[in-house]
Structure 1
Amino acid sequence: MTLSIIIVNYNVRHFLEQAVSSALSALKGLSGEIIVVDNASVDDSVEMMQNMFPHVQLIESKTNLGFSKANNIGIQAAKGKYILLLNPDTLVPENCFKTCIDFIEKNNDVGALGVKMLDGSGKMLPESKRGFPSPWVSFCKMLGLHYVFPHSKLFNYYYLGHLDSNQNQEIDILTGAFFLVRRSILDEIGLLDESFFMYGEDVDLSYRVQKSGHKIYYLADTQIIHYKGESTKKVSLNYVSTFYNAMIIFAKKHFSGSKKSGTIMFLKLAIMLKGLLALIKTWFRAFSFIIIDSLAILTGVYLAKRFWSIWYFQTEYYYPSPIIWFNAVLYTCVWIFAFFVQGVYETKFKTASLLLSTIFGLFINLVIYSLLPEHYRASRMILLLSFLWTLIYAILSRMVYNKIAWNRWVIGVDKRKQIVVIGSPSTAEKVNLILNASKIEHQISKIISPTQITSDPNYWKELVAVYKVDQIIFGSPNELQDTFGLSMNQVLSFINLIPAPVEFKMITESGKGIIGSPSKNNPGELYTFEVQYNLLQKIYLRQKRIFDLFFSLSVFVFSWLIILIQHNKLKFLSNLYEVIIGKKTWVGYSKEIAEKYQLPIIKTGIIIPNIGMMDHHFEVLSEPIIRNYAWNYSVWMDLDICLKAINQLDQ
Structure 2
Amino acid sequence: MRSRPSLPLWKPTTKSLSLKLSIVIVNYNVRHFLEQCLRSVERAMEGLDVDVWVVDNDSRDDSMKMVSDKFPWVHRIENKENVGFAVANNQAANQSKGDYILLLNPDTILPEDNLRQALEYMSDHPKCGALGIRMFDGAGIFLPESKRGLPTPWVAFYKIFGLSSIFPKSKKFARYHLGHLSNDENHRVEILAGAYMLMSREAWNKAGGLDETYFMYGEDIDLSYSIEKSGFEVHYMAEPSIIHYKGESTKKGSLNYVFLFYNAMLIFARKHLSKGYARMFSLLIRLAIYLRAGVSVAKRIVQRISLPIIDLLVFTGGMQVIIKYWESNHRFIEGGSYPDYYKWGITPLYGALWIIGLLFLGGYRKPIQLNRILMGLVLGTGLIFGMYALSPDDVRFSRALILLGAAWMAFGVLFLRFGLSLFPSLGLGFWKTGQTRAGFVGKSESFGVIKSILSHSGRRVDLLKSIDENELDQMLEAFDLNEVIFDAEHLSYSRIIELIRKYSSRGYHFQIAYPSEGWIIGSNSIHTQGETVGLKKYALASADSRRSKRTFDLSIVVFLWILTPVAIWMPRLSKLWWNSFAVLIHAKTWVGYAGNGEGLPTLKMGVIPIKQLNNNGLEKEVDEAYASTADINTDARTLVRFIRTGA
Out of 190, 195, 201, the position equivalent to 2:213 is: 195
The answer to whether the 8 Å contact 2:192/2:221 transfers is yes
- How do residues 390-429 of structure 1 correspond to structure 2 at under 5 angstroms? 390-397=413-420, 399-400=422-423, 402=425, 414-429=433-448
- Displacement of 1:381 in angstroms is 6.6
- Displacement of 1:511 in angstroms is 4.4
Give me the TM-score of the superposition, normalised by structure 1.
Answer: 0.67
Q: Return 433-442 or 164-173, whichever deviates more.
A: 433-442
Instruction: In structure 2, give the amino acid aligned to 1:501.
Output: G
Q: Give the structure 2 partner of residue 148 of structure 1.
A: 166
- Displacement of 1:326 in angstroms is 4.3
C-alpha spacing 1:225/1:142, structure 2 compared with 1 (3 Å): same
- How do residues 254-265 of structure 1 correspond to structure 2 at under 5 angstroms? 254-255=272-273, 260-265=274-279
C-alpha spacing 1:140/1:464, structure 2 compared with 1 (3 Å): same
Q: Deviations over 1:350-377 (max 9, x none)?
A: 4xx4445434534654776798794269
The answer to whether the 8 Å contact 2:21/2:102 transfers is yes
Query: What is the aligned residue count?
Result: 495
Out of 482, 496, 501, the position equivalent to 1:496 is: 501
Q: Give the structure 2 partner of residue 474 of structure 1.
A: 486
Q: Give the structure 2 partner of residue 178 of structure 1.
A: 196
Aligned residue for 2:246, secondary structure, equals coil
The answer to whether the 8 Å contact 1:445/1:467 transfers is no
The answer to whether the 8 Å contact 1:21/1:509 transfers is no
Distance in 2 of aligned mates of 1:8 and 1:411: 46
Aligned sequence identity (%): 35
Instruction: In structure 2, give the amino acid aligned to 1:514.
Output: I
C-alpha spacing 1:137/1:306, structure 2 compared with 1 (3 Å): closer
Out of 234, 251, 263, the position equivalent to 1:245 is: 263
Instruction: In structure 2, give the amino acid aligned to 1:397.
Output: L
Structure having the higher Rg: 2
C-alpha spacing 1:465/1:230, structure 2 compared with 1 (3 Å): closer
Out of 365, 385, 390, the position equivalent to 1:375 is: 390
Provide the aligned C-alpha RMSD in A.
3.5
Q: Give the structure 2 partner of residue 278 of structure 1.
A: 292
- Displacement of 1:26 in angstroms is 1.2
- How do residues 500-539 of structure 1 correspond to structure 2 at under 5 angstroms? 500-508=506-514, 511-517=517-523, 524-528=524-528
C-alpha spacing 1:89/1:267, structure 2 compared with 1 (3 Å): same
Q: Give the structure 2 partner of residue 10 of structure 1.
A: 28
C-alpha spacing 1:127/1:530, structure 2 compared with 1 (3 Å): farther
Instruction: In structure 1, give the amino acid aligned to 2:502.
Output: L
- Displacement of 1:330 in angstroms is 3.2
Q: Say whether residues 1:328 and 2:351 are aligned partners.
A: yes
Q: Say whether residues 1:224 and 2:238 are aligned partners.
A: no
Q: Return 197-206 or 328-337, whichever deviates more.
A: 328-337
Instruction: In structure 1, give the amino acid aligned to 2:522.
Output: G
Instruction: In structure 2, give the amino acid aligned to 1:280.
Output: G
Instruction: In structure 2, give the amino acid aligned to 1:329.
Output: A
Distance in 2 of aligned mates of 1:357 and 1:50: 55
Q: Give the structure 1 partner of residue 50 of structure 2.
A: 32
- Displacement of 1:410 in angstroms is 7.2
The answer to whether the 8 Å contact 1:185/1:209 transfers is yes
Distance in 2 of aligned mates of 1:33 and 1:493: 27
- Displacement of 1:444 in angstroms is 4.0
Q: Give the structure 2 partner of residue 116 of structure 1.
A: 134
C-alpha spacing 1:287/1:413, structure 2 compared with 1 (3 Å): farther
Q: Deviations over 1:180-233 (max 9, x none)?
A: 112333333322111111111001111111111112111223110012228943
Aligned residue for 1:394, secondary structure, equals helix
The answer to whether the 8 Å contact 1:14/1:508 transfers is no
- Displacement of 1:125 in angstroms is 1.6
Out of 94, 97, 106, the position equivalent to 2:115 is: 97
Q: Say whether residues 1:314 and 2:314 are aligned partners.
A: no
- Displacement of 1:274 in angstroms is 2.0
Q: Say whether residues 1:288 and 2:302 are aligned partners.
A: yes
C-alpha spacing 1:472/1:237, structure 2 compared with 1 (3 Å): same
- How do residues 72-87 of structure 1 correspond to structure 2 at under 5 angstroms? 72-87=90-105
The answer to whether the 8 Å contact 1:85/1:179 transfers is yes
The answer to whether the 8 Å contact 1:233/1:239 transfers is yes
Q: Deviations over 1:484-519 (max 9, x none)?
A: xx42222222222215122332124764443334xx
The answer to whether the 8 Å contact 2:424/2:434 transfers is no
Out of 373, 387, 391, the position equivalent to 1:358 is: 373
The answer to whether the 8 Å contact 2:511/2:521 transfers is yes
Q: Return 37-46 or 88-97, whichever deviates more.
A: 37-46
